[in-house]
């Protein structure tokens, strides 16, 4: 099985690679500087094209779109600038869409291929609690992208799931978060394994519950 996890140099991405390694399942990661796995900057068209060329003759069975930023943590609307919006959307939304676009040929060569998009509970419109406007908007947008992508790829047998990874003790989640990286990774890996055409378009939590939209 050929697996690729974007943004794997730290946090949930790194935990996913460790989780797969513990299971004896090879998985490749990406990082912006190439220190972990393949070099990929999801905001750089040239870098994304290079990733596509790398997989030009290969198959891909599972793509995990994990690379993301959270630039407006703890900042009010008055403190935000246009660049916060532009950078966040470029990474969290366009970066996901572009990564999927260049890797679709490799996914089509795979067997029962799957796309897993790491979103957040902060994408939920039913649980809008205020604050973190930029991050919430980006995660809602990528959730919408994932659900529509699932419909468009249904006929090709490529399943797409979107996931809330839990509140995880990472640089992004902070030291007071509920889950360790290994706990979140274990749950997410189980979700990816369970993902099939009967679940395509799902928005689930790391431990398998349907998440409110």
- By the 8 A CB rule, do 60 and 115 touch? no
Q: Write the DSSP symbol of residue 209.
A: P
Residue 210 lies in a domain: no
Residue 139, CA atoms < 13 Å, CB-side half-sphere = 27
The pLDDT tens digits along the chain (213 residues) read 999 999 999 999 999 999 999 999 999 999 999 989 999 999 999 999 999 999 999 999 999 999 999 999 999 999 999 999 999 999 999 999 999 999 999 999 998 999 999 999 999 988 889 999 999 999 999 999 999 999 999 999 999 999 999 877 766 677 766 788 789 999 999 999 999 999 999 999 999 999 989
Q: Which residues of 146-185 are buried (b: 16+ CB within 10 A; e: fewer)?
A: bbebbeebeeeebbbbbbbbbbbbbebbeeeeebebebbb
pLDDT of residue 177: 62
pLDDT in tens, 162-176: 999 987 776 667 776
Residue 213 lies in a domain: no
In angstroms, rounded to a whole number, what is the distance separating the alpha carbons of residues 146 and 148?
5
What CATH number does the domain containing 21 carry?
Answer: 3.40.50.720
The token duo for 109 is 């060569």
Residue 155 lies in a domain: yes
Residue 11 lies in a domain: yes
Residue 170 lies in a domain: yes
Domain carrying residue 194:
3-205
pLDDT of residue 172: 65
Residue 23 lies in a domain: yes
Residue 211 lies in a domain: no
Residue 142 lies in a domain: yes
User: Is the model's pTM score more than 0.75?
Assistant: yes
Number of domains making up the chain: 1
């Amino acid at each position: 099985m050929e697996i690729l996890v974007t943004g794997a140099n730290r946090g949930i991405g790194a935990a996913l690679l460790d989780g797969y390694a513990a299971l004896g399942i090879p998985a490749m990661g990406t990082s912006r500087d190439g220190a972990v796995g393949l070099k990929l900057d999801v905001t750089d068209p040239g870098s994304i094209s290079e990733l596509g060329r790398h997989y030009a003759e290969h198959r891909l069975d599972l793509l995990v779109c994990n690379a993301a930023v959270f630039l407006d943590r703890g900042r009010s609307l008055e403190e935000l600038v246009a660049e916060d919006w532009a950078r966040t959307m470029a990474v969290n939304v366009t970066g996901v869409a572009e990564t999927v676009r260049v890797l679709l040929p490799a996914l089509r060569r795979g067997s029962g291929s799957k796309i897993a998009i790491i979103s957040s509970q902060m994408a939920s419109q039913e649980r809008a609690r205020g604050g973190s406007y930029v991050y919430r908007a980006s995660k809602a947008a990528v959730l919408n992208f994932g659900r529509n992508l699932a419909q468009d790829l249904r006929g090709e047998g490529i399943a797409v799931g979107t996931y809330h990874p839990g509140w995880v003790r990472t640089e992004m989640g902070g030291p007071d978060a509920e889950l360790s990286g290994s706990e979140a990774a274990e749950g997410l890996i189980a979700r990816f394994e369970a993902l099939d055409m009967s679940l395509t378009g799902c928005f689930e939590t790391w431990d398998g519950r349907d998440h409110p939209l």
